[in-house]
Chain A
Amino acid sequence: AQSVTQPDIHITVSEGASLELRCNYSYGATPYLFWYVQSPGQGLQLLLKYFSGDTLVQGIKGFEAEFKRSQSSFNLRKPSVHWSDAAEYFCAVDLCREYGNKLVFGAGTILRVKS
């Protein structure tokens, strides 16, 4: 069955340090991949998406992600974390595209930023 795994439930990084959040997916076809961020008590905001082409995609707030087909991964990175990046991050894969796209989400990674 199609699935998305985010191996890290919590990650703590120091402000200014680099960040990498891991995402692995299980999906037979070429995936469409997304990263969303959720601040406490808020809805989900799209950070970036991959549909095709260049495997390194740029998103908002200085985030980027790299699609690696051989590793079935779509890891999110940021070179220098800011305190405002503390939030929960969700990776998602597009499951079926016939009638809309039905996303399968990972369980999420909570990012804490220490000063």
Chain B
Amino acid sequence: DAGITQSPRHKVTETGTPVTLRCHQTENHRYMYWYRQDPGHGLRLIHYSYGVKDTDKGEVSDGYSVSRSKTEDFLLTLESATSSQTSVYFCAISERLAGVTYETQYFGPGTRLLVL
């Protein structure tokens, strides 16, 4: 299994409070991703990172920000949580080998967030 941990694994918070989720990897992979999983939608990409301090938006980035100050950590922040952000959040990592254009993403165990 890929060395990916997420913290916290479960969190309950109130509307309007800031929340930060952490993804930590021990694989030294360049690429890191944050997804949210909701019934009927599969997983949707929130933000991704292609290197330290290099990040970009995914398809559902509104209300979320990210930071990556070192290779192993990718933080997802909800600046002011809303009930619509109640979801399960997954981190993923990948690496691109030299000479190829494909890679495989490996997923962390997930964080279940409930916003009341």
Contacts and interface: CB of A to CB of B under 8 A. Distances in A.
Interface in A1-59: 4, 32, 34, 36, 42-46, 49, 51
B44 interface: yes
Interface residues of B, number: 27
Nearest to B58: A102
B43 to A, nearest CB: 5
Interface in B75-116: 90, 94, 96, 101-110
Interface residues of A, number: 25
Interface string A79-115: 0000000000010101001011111111110000000
B105 to A, nearest CB: 6
Contact of A107 (B40, B45, B56): B40
Nearest to A45: B107
B107 A44 contact: yes
B50 A99 contact: yes
Contacts, number: 62
B43 A46 contact: no
B103 A107 contact: no
Contact of A105 (B42, B50, B101): B42
B90 A44 contact: yes
Contacts of B54: 99
Given A43-B107, A44-B90, A105-B42, A99 B56 contact: yes
Contacts of B90: 43-44
Contacts of A36: 107
10 contacts: A34-B104, A43-B107, A51-B102, A92-B42, A99-B56, A100-B94, A101-B94, A101-B105, A102-B58, A106-B42
Interface of B: 30-31, 33, 40-45, 48, 50, 54, 56, 58, 90, 94, 96, 101-110
Interface of A: 4, 32, 34, 36, 42-46, 49, 51, 90, 92, 94, 97, 99-108
